[in-house]
Chains A and B, each alone.
Chain A
Amino acid sequence: MSDNLALIFFVIAAAGVATFMMGTAVFLGPKRRHRVKDQPFACGGLAEPYPGEQFPVRYYLVAMLFILFDIEVVFLYFWGVIFRDLGFPGLYEILLFIGVLGAGLAYVWRRGALRWV
C-alpha cells in the first residue's frame, strides 16, 4: 500500500516540479513576437496548411501488429515468474501459445505486411 502511495506522490511531485520549471522559464524569458518568427520552420519554404501530409497505411499495420505481439509478451512475463513451479507442462503449453502467434508472424511476414518499402 505504501508503495502505491509513493507512486502517487511521485506523479504529483514530478508534475509539480516540471510545471514549476516551465512556468519559471516562461516568466523569465523574453516575449518578443514576430510574424516571421512565429511561422513553423520549413527550411525557408512556405509552411504547409494544417495537416498537410498524408500518411502511408503501413503505420496503421505496425500499430495493429504491435498490439497483438505486445499483449503476448505481457503474458510471457507472468509465465516467466511461475515457470519453475509449472515445469515442463507449463513450458509445453506456452510453447503452443507462442506457436500459434509465431504462425501469425510467419503469415504477416509472408503476406508482406512487414515489408516497409
Chain B
Amino acid sequence: MSELAQNLTLPGALLAGLSPGVAAMLVMFASCAAVLGVVALNGMFLVWWERKISAHIQSRVGPMTTGYWHGWLQSIADGVKLLLKENIIPLMADRWLFMLAPLVVFMSAFMAFVPIPWGEKLIVADLNVGVLYIAAITSLSAIGVIMAGWASNNKWSLYGGMRAAAQIVSYEIPVGLALVPALLASSTLSMQGIVEVQAGGIWNWNIFAGGPFTIVAFGALFLASLAEVNRAPFDLPEAESELVCGFHTEYSGMCFAFFFLAEYSEMFVVAVVASVLYLGGWHDPLGLGILPGPVVLMAKVLLLVFVQMWFRWTFPRLRVDQLMYLAWKVLTPLGFINVFGAAFWLILV
C-alpha cells in the first residue's frame, strides 16, 4: 500500500503535503473505490457480453433496444430494477443466514481482487502469499453457497447447496495442483513476483517453462476453475432443468444480484489467476512493453472469459457422477503427473 503511494506519480504529487498516515488512508480509500468500480463495471459488462455471445451462438441478436446501440444500457437497467425489487424472505427460512449468505459470496469475490497485479507499480497489496491468499479467499464462496442452500429451507436450494459443497471441495484439489507448476517455474507465491519472472516475451511465459507439463497444467487449471466458479458445463449447483435455480432459487432483488455479481467477478478472478500464473500477466507477448499493463492484462483476461462463455453455450451439462469422476480420477492424478513432470523438466532441461 505504501509503495503504491510512493510510486504513483500523480497521487504522489497530490499527497506530498499530507502526513504519511493520512496519505496512506487516502490511497486505501482510492484503491478500494477503484476495485469496487472494477467489480461493478466488470459485472455489468460481462452480463451484457454473455447475453450477446449466447444470442449470436444461437442465431439470435440479444438485447438491442435499451440504449439504442446493441442494448448497451441493458445491464444498468437490470441493476436499477433489481435494486427496486422486493426482497422476499420465505416464511420458513433462517432469516439471518439467508441475508448473510449473499454478503459472504460477494465479499469473497471482492477480496480476491486485492493481490492482482495490473502493472509494474499498480497493485493494491503485493502479498507475499498472494497465490495462497487467492486460493483461500475464493474457496470461502463455497461457505456462502452452502449457507444459502441451507437457510432457504427449500429442497431445491438444499440440493444445490450440497452439490456445490461436493463440487467446489472436489475441484479445489485439481486447481491447487495445477497452480504448483507455475510456482515451481517462478519460485515465489507473490503475484507480482510471478509476473516479473515472465518478462521478455511469450517464450518466457510460465506456460512454456516446463515443456508439455505446464501446457497441460494450464488446460487443467482452466477446466477445474470453471468447475470452481460453477460455470457450465459444471453448473450443477444451479442446474435449471433439475433444481429450478439451485441454491439461489428463493433469492430475489438485491440478494440475487449479489450472487450474480459474485459469479461474474469470480469468472474474472480465475481468468486473472490463469493469465498471471501462466500467460505472463501484464507483459505483452513480444516483450516490447509499449502497451500499458492493465490493457495487456485485460486483453488476456477477456480472451479467457470469452472461452468460458463459449464453453457454456457449447457443451451440455455433466451428470454428478461424471463431474466427480473427472475431478478425482482424471484431473487429480493428472495434476500429480504435471507437478513432478514440470519439476524434473525444470531441473534437467
Give the interface of A toward B (CB within 8 A): 2-3, 5-7, 9-11, 13-15, 17-19, 21-22, 24-26, 28-32, 37-43, 47-48, 50-53, 55, 58-59, 62-63, 65-66, 69-70, 73-74, 76-77, 80-84, 87-88, 91, 95, 98, 102, 105, 109, 114-117
Give the nearest-CB partner of A102 in chain B.
Answer: B336
Q: Which chain B residues numbered 136 to 184 have a C-beta less than 8 Å away from chain A?
A: 152-159, 162, 165-166, 169-170, 172-173, 176-177, 179-180, 183-184
Which of A30, A41, A82, A91 is close to B347, meaning CB atoms less than 8 Å apart? A91
Contact between B254 and A22 (Cβ–Cβ < 8 Å)? yes
Known contacts A59-B166, A62-B324; decide if A19 and B183 are in contact (CB<8 Å). no
Distance, CA A63 to CA B180, complexed state (A):
22
Q: When the two chains form their complex, are residues B187 and A82 in contact, meaning their CB atoms are under 8 A apart?
A: yes
Contact B154 A42 (CB under 8 A): yes
Query: Secondary structure at chain A's binding surface: helix, strand, loop or mixed?
Result: helix
Is there contact, CB below 8 Å, between B1 and A63?
Answer: no
Choose among B183, B250, B329 the residue that contacts A109 (Cβ–Cβ < 8 A): B329
Instruction: Specify the main secondary structure of chain B where it touches its partner.
Output: helix
B314 to chain A, nearest CB (A): 25
- Assuming the contacts A3-B127, A70-B176, A91-B344, asked whether A18 and B106 have C-beta atoms less than 8 A apart, the reply is yes
Bound-state Cα–Cα, A10 to B107, Å: 9
CB pair B173–A116 under 8 Å, yes or no, is no
Specify which chain B residues have a CB less than 8 angstroms from the CB of A21 in the assembled complex: 83, 254, 258
Residues of B within 8 A of A (CB): 1-2, 24, 28, 31-32, 35-36, 82-93, 99, 102-103, 106-107, 110-111, 114, 124-127, 131-132, 152-159, 162, 165-166, 169-170, 172-173, 176-177, 179-180, 183-184, 187-189, 244, 249-250, 253-255, 257-258, 320-321, 324-325, 328-329, 332-333, 336, 339-340, 343-344, 346-347
Expressed in whole angstroms, the Cα–Cα distance for A73 and B328 within the complex equals: 14
- Once A53-B155, A117-B321 are accepted as A-B contacts, the answer to whether A6 and B124 lie under 8 Å apart by CB is yes
In angstroms, Cα B153 to Cα A11, docked, is 29
Smallest distance from the beta carbon of A89 to chain B beta carbons, Å?
11
